[in-house]
Chains A and B, each alone.
Chain A
Amino acid sequence: MKSQVSADEEPRHSRGKVASMRDAVAALVHDGDVVAIEGFTHLICFAAGHEIIRQRKRDLTLARLTPDLIYDQMVAAGTARKLVFSWLGNPGVGGLHAIRRRVEDADPAPLELEEYSHFGMVGRYTAGASNLPFFPLRSYFETDLPKANPLIRPIKSPYGDETVYAVPPLKPDVTVVHAQRADAEGNTQMWGLLGCQKEAAFAAERVIVVVEELVDEAVVRADPNRTVIPGLIVDAVVVEPWGAHPSYVQGAYDRDNHFYRDWDAISREAATTQAWLDEWVYGVSGRAEYMEKLGAERMASLQPWGMAPSGSVDYGVYK
């Protein structure tokens, strides 16, 4: 059911699904696709978003609960015709100016919006992942949201008089998930805020997993409760340390709050936004060069203050 990215040089048995970001995006993201780069504040794969910009993908429908800076950048770069979302802002800072220019002034072109609440978006992925025709929830009563989005519809319980609201399944053509680690087959482990990365991955036709660290299968098998996404549904594994910057990876690096604040000024004008894209996206070959440009000092400033390892558990041996 899943297409596979061809590994470059080494035989596939050793490299599994490991691919470069460039190859993974070229093979798995197509013009016109519904793309979900998920991760709620945590684990947002900016590296994949930037590669999609560099490859000049067009007419994408971008789905995410919180479009965040990554979709502001992708919208500014002209990759998207539509957003599916539930909270459109720069968390802790303010608005997303490139998106607002498209929505408020159609500058340089209109942007279609399909809007839900957080629970509605989570429910949409859940229905998509579970092969269900809708997801029921107790929300939207007496609000203007069903008027703004007629896909949010009331539905009567088959077991009584209660009415709840329904949202339709969301099945992205491709979901990108960032995580702490995976093995070469894409068995993926993450910790910290999980958002709805699991639901978005299971709902998708194709899945790209981007990780800080490639680990041996034995590492995954030693802690199966931590596996969020099985390799079964994964098409490509991209090893891209710091691929979530300026978002963060629990235990690896902190959110770059300064960049989130800086983006507010950068993105207020179309010209400064494009200049930033020229320098930091089009002007670099990939994430490694981006991080080199960011510099060791900035990277050091984003190290966690200290370590907080989990206790280990004993799964036992049974034979």
Chain B
Amino acid sequence: MSEPAVQPGAAGAPAFSKSEMMIVAAARELAGQRVCFVGVGLPNIAVNLARLTVAPALELVYESGAFGAKPARLPLSIGDPTIVTGATAAVSMFELFSFYLQGGLVDVGFLGAAQIDRFGNINSTVIGDYEHPKTRLPGSGGACEIAINARQVFVIMRQSKRSFVDRIDFRTSPGNLGGAEAAARIRREEGWLGRGPSVVVTDLGIYHFDDSGEMRLDSIHPGATLEQVRETIGWEPKVAEPLAVTPVPTAEELRLIREELDPEGVYTK
């Protein structure tokens, strides 16, 4: 099950796995951000890596009620006791969702997803019909209100034909709806604080959203090919010209992931 470190590093640089590249790329996107709402799973390790590298002033907000968390180990769940000890504040979930999130204090909501479409709408509820699901997924948690109230949304998820789909089975968290123009109007009219998804980081590359509100591959990870990208996406993806290549992970980024953040390989296997 464990993924071999197959990617050749640049001259003299260490080899790294696809998961490590994805986590590093996501962490770097957080440079300059101040307050980040952290979801369970991959966002958790990416955000903690950002705090130790490109965004030392980043305040981590966990929906469980920790603000300004300084976890001394990688939290397995978003309710781990390590996010409380040494945090700026431990607040009730009412305060967290009402004052911090709905009050507009969260710059970035960092989400994972089971399905995403080209406009960044997210499904984390069911595969198949809601009443008779083929697979019952966890559901919203806080994702629905994060997508609406965080100033912008980052997504991190592995690419596959099952997850990058032309039509999601259930809209749990709104993205750019059917396109940027209508989405911007609805967000304004309905008083949403957020401007929606701004970046999607996968194991193959980094996508931003163009003026039409659609995902565009702006950077491809070293070792990945455009053929792989097209094989793992349910629509013909837009590709930037020229297409950048994501800089390889540095030795220090890899050391932090392997030795400090995830020594058991929970997220990187």
**Docked pose: A118 CA to B97 CA in angstroms:** 9
A118-B148 in contact given A86-B139, A143-B174 (Cβ < 8 Å): no
Q: Does A12 contact B (CB under 8 A)?
A: no
**Docked pose: A148 CA to B141 CA in angstroms:** 15
Q: Are A117 and B78 in contact (CB under 8 A)?
A: no
Q: Are B94 and A199 in contact (CB under 8 A)?
A: yes
A122-B172 in contact given A103-B136, A143-B144, A257-B76 (Cβ < 8 Å): no
Q: Does A91 contact B (CB under 8 A)?
A: yes
* Minimum Cβ distance to chain A for residue B103 (Å): 10
Which residues 82-113 of B sit at the A interface, judged by CB distance below 8 A? 83-86, 90-94, 97-98, 101-102
- List chain A residues, Cβ under 8 A from B134: 104
**Docked pose: A87 CA to B145 CA in angstroms:** 13
From B64, B133, B173, give the contact of A40 (CB < 8 A): B64
Q: Does A126 contact B (CB under 8 A)?
A: yes
On chain B, the number of residues with a Cβ less than 8 Å from chain A's Cβ atoms is: 53
* Minimum Cβ distance to chain B for residue A36 (Å): 14
**Docked pose: A136 CA to B232 CA in angstroms:** 40
From A100, A145, A192, give the contact of B136 (CB < 8 A): A100
Q: Does B79 contact A (CB under 8 A)?
A: yes
**Docked pose: A198 CA to B98 CA in angstroms:** 16
The chain A residue sitting closest to B143, CB to CB, is: A117
**Docked pose: A95 CA to B139 CA in angstroms:** 11
Which segment of B152-160, B185-193, B203-211, B215-223 sits at the interface? B185-193
Q: Are B92 and A143 in contact (CB under 8 A)?
A: no
* Minimum Cβ distance to chain A for residue B236 (Å): 25
Q: Are B66 and A118 in contact (CB under 8 A)?
A: no
Q: Does A235 contact B (CB under 8 A)?
A: no
- List chain B residues, Cβ under 8 A from A99: 136
Q: Are A192 and B84 in contact (CB under 8 A)?
A: yes
Which segment of A71-79, A214-222, A247-255 sits at the interface? A247-255
Q: Are B174 and A142 in contact (CB under 8 A)?
A: yes
Q: Are A255 and B141 in contact (CB under 8 A)?
A: no
* Minimum Cβ distance to chain B for residue A122 (Å): 5
Q: Does A144 contact B (CB under 8 A)?
A: yes
A117-B186 in contact given A142-B171, A144-B172 (Cβ < 8 Å): no
**Docked pose: A139 CA to B172 CA in angstroms:** 11
**Docked pose: A130 CA to B144 CA in angstroms:** 24
Q: Are A191 and B144 in contact (CB under 8 A)?
A: no
A88-B138 in contact given A118-B63, A142-B177, A145-B172 (Cβ < 8 Å): yes
Q: Are B139 and A42 in contact (CB under 8 A)?
A: no
- List chain B residues, Cβ under 8 A from A85: 139
Q: Are B94 and A196 in contact (CB under 8 A)?
A: yes
The chain B residue sitting closest to A140, CB to CB, is: B144
Q: Does A241 contact B (CB under 8 A)?
A: no
Q: Does B33 contact A (CB under 8 A)?
A: no
Convert B52-68 into 0s and 1s, putting 1 for each residue whose CB lies closer than 8 angstroms to a CB of A.
Answer: 00000000000111100
- List chain A residues, Cβ under 8 A from B133: 103-104
**Docked pose: A41 CA to B80 CA in angstroms:** 7
- List chain B residues, Cβ under 8 A from A140: 144
Q: Are A138 and B145 in contact (CB under 8 A)?
A: yes
A191-B90 in contact given A138-B145, A139-B148, A255-B80 (Cβ < 8 Å): yes
Q: Are A196 and B93 in contact (CB under 8 A)?
A: yes
Q: Does B77 contact A (CB under 8 A)?
A: yes
**Docked pose: A198 CA to B133 CA in angstroms:** 34
**Docked pose: A99 CA to B191 CA in angstroms:** 37
Q: Does A295 contact B (CB under 8 A)?
A: no
**Docked pose: A95 CA to B83 CA in angstroms:** 23
**Docked pose: A88 CA to B137 CA in angstroms:** 7
Q: Are B125 and A138 in contact (CB under 8 A)?
A: no
Q: Does B40 contact A (CB under 8 A)?
A: yes
25 intermolecular pairs with C-beta atoms under 8 Å apart: A40-B65, A42-B79, A85-B139, A92-B77, A95-B137, A115-B125, A116-B140, A117-B140, A117-B143, A118-B141, A119-B97, A126-B94, A138-B149, A142-B174, A142-B177, A144-B171, A148-B130, A163-B190, A192-B81, A194-B92, A196-B92, A196-B94, A250-B84, A255-B79, A304-B81
A-B residue pairs, 7 tightest by C-beta: A41-B79, A87-B141, A89-B138, A91-B77, A139-B145, A117-B140, A92-B77
Residues in A lying within 8 Å of B, measured CB to CB: 40-42, 65-66, 85-89, 91-92, 95, 99-100, 103-104, 115-119, 122, 126, 137-145, 147-148, 162-163, 191-196, 198-199, 248, 250, 254-255, 257, 260, 304, 308
Beyond A42-B64, A139-B149, list 20 extra A-B contacts (CB 8 Å): A40-B64, A86-B141, A91-B77, A91-B78, A92-B77, A92-B78, A99-B136, A103-B136, A104-B135, A117-B139, A117-B142, A117-B143, A118-B145, A119-B142, A148-B130, A193-B65, A194-B91, A250-B81, A260-B77, A308-B86
